[in-house]
Structure 1
């Protein structure tokens, strides 16, 4: 009813009539414009136990001018699986998320798109993972970059969970060409990835332990957590925390201070 009330008859090509009491559109008008029976639309609006199709919901959403979030909410109210998220405009990331990962310093933080391409990182992540390199997809880097492969035992423990998390994260966009390109490249170039991908395991990202053999300060061990943002479901923020009981926090401070000193001298 609230969505009907905000649509004027003139906005959908209907004549304005004198003495009209209903704000916005009447139920019958929505039904006609959506191509469904008025009684059926009334039952839908009243929340009765009826079986409704996605085509009907899309027609109603179109007439009421629902945006993508409202349309997905309508599906949820009707007991249907929400449709896939509509593609976002070509905006890399929002300023609020950039401030979030900057504030996570001195610990590393990165931001990934739906294909796990790194679209932003803080200074600590640049120093720890070397993300100034041309390789910017973190899944490809995990399997091909020696920074990740250096400690073989830790890498082999983490690899199955990483692949399972990627499969789960991309399951809602199986036709995305970016995802397909990453999978094709890794299946062609990495026997390890090809073997793990063929297992078809899926799993939540959860907390993953990452060990990095840094050329300056030695072994760094982090717990990484992935955060999804409802306002930008196409982006994931990955936060890294030093594992307690390791020398990671101290070595990280040393790495950051040595880089700051080098930049001051230069």
Structure 2
């Protein structure tokens, strides 16, 4: 890093292009003597607050911050999450290339952030802006969409328990949890079971209003550029009726007006 990277003046001759010890200490709001002891290994137990200050001073990304904590033998503090989440435009552009593969991007509280064209055609009830957990229990049309609603609902609740355990103080997760517990007795009963598991590869039977039964395999991927977000990808075995139905849905979606195919549902 150079002084210019952090807004410091590049005054005079410098023996090294990077930051001086005094500059790092200034940016981290710690004493030069304490920083020197850290650098020389004479101070081996920095507090989480010091590690956070150094992470910010050195403009570390999530991987760099995690590595710093590991070097110090500590677990990272949970970071405050922004209430507004957005899907990575590059990830969504990639998903739009999959004309035979429905895909959804979920936020850290199961908010549907975006979907590719085929994803919106298949999951009409999960348009961007919808919350998956709340829709599962509060949208009557969802019950008739899933061939086995009870199993799907139990899996969603177990997945949400898993999310809540990783981010127990996240305001959006707590907001969704309060709404679901207040509005749905079925959700409350499932929540008390305390099942917790992440989404994994699985087969789902969907009853689509336009093309009938769809048997889809599901794969889930963590979005590294946005911790907590998930990319959910569905696919059908080639040569099956479901694969033919996906092609038909893709053709129908391609003929719709552009505003109906907006990946963000605008």
Q: TM-score range by the shorter chain?
A: 0.7 to 0.9
Mean Cα deviation higher: 49-58 or 87-96: 87-96
Question: Relative to structure 1, is the Cα distance of residues 146 and 89 closer, same or farther in structure 2, using a 3 angstrom cutoff?
Answer: closer
Q: What is the distance in 1 between the residues matched to 2:75 and 2:144?
A: 43
Q: Which has the larger radius of gyration?
A: 1
Relative to structure 1, the CA distance from residue 77 to residue 104 in structure 2 (aligned partners, 3 Å threshold; closer, same or farther) is: farther
Q: Equivalent residues in 2 for 1:231-246 (5 A)?
A: 231-242=225-236
Which residue does 1:229 correspond to in 2?
A: 223
Aligned partner of 1:156 in structure 2 is 150
Deviation at 1:194, TM superposition (A): 0.9
1:73, 1:82 within 8 Å by CA — same for their partners in 2? Answer: no
Offset of residue 7 of structure 1: 3.5
Rounded Cα–Cα distance in structure 1 between residues aligned with 2:19 and 2:117? 53
Distance 1:241 1:7 in 2: 50
| Structure 1 residue 65: Cα displacement | 3.8
Structure 2 unpaired stretches of 5+: 258-266
CA distance in 2 between counterparts of 1:121 and 1:211 reads: 19
CA RMSD of aligned residues (A): 3.5
Q: Which moved more, 1:254-263 or 1:71-80?
A: 254-263
Q: Is the Cα–Cα contact under 8 Å of residues 162 and 198 in structure 2 kept in the other structure? A: yes
Partner SS for 2:67: helix
- 1:125 aligned partner: 119
Q: 1:46 to 1:248 in 2, by over 3 A?
A: farther
- Distance in 1 (CA, whole Å) between partners of 2:172 and 2:161 is 13
State which of 195, 203, 208 in structure 2 corresponds to 1:214. Answer: 208
Counting matched residue pairs gives: 254
Which position in structure 2 is the counterpart of 1:35? 30
Q: Which of structures 1 and 2 has the larger relative contact order (alpha carbons within 8 angstroms, sep 6+)? A: 2
Matches within 5 A, 1:54-133: 54-62=48-56, 64-69=57-62, 70-87=64-81, 90=84, 92-131=86-125
Deviation at 1:90, TM superposition (A): 4.9
Q: How does 1:163-178 map to 2 (within 5 A)?
A: 163-178=157-172
Please say if residues 167 and 202 of structure 1, whose CA atoms lie closer than 8 Å, have aligned partners that are also in contact.
Answer: yes
C-alpha change, 1:239 and 1:153, in structure 2 (3 Å) is closer
Match of 1:193 in 2: 187
Contact 1:147 1:214 in 2 (8 A): no
Alpha carbons of structure 1 residues 256 and 165: separation in structure 2 relative to 1, 3 Å = same
Q: With structure 1 as the length reference, what TM-score do the two structures score?
A: 0.77
- Distance in 2, Cα, partners of 1:34 & 1:253: 59
Q: What secondary structure sits across from 2:229 in the alignment?
A: strand
Q: Report the equivalent of 2:262.
A: none
Deviation at 1:12, TM superposition (A): 5.9
Work out whether residues 201 and 218 of structure 2, in 8 Å CA contact, stay in contact via their aligned partners in 1. Answer: yes
Structure 1 pair 227–147 and aligned structure 2 pair: CA distance change class (3 A): farther
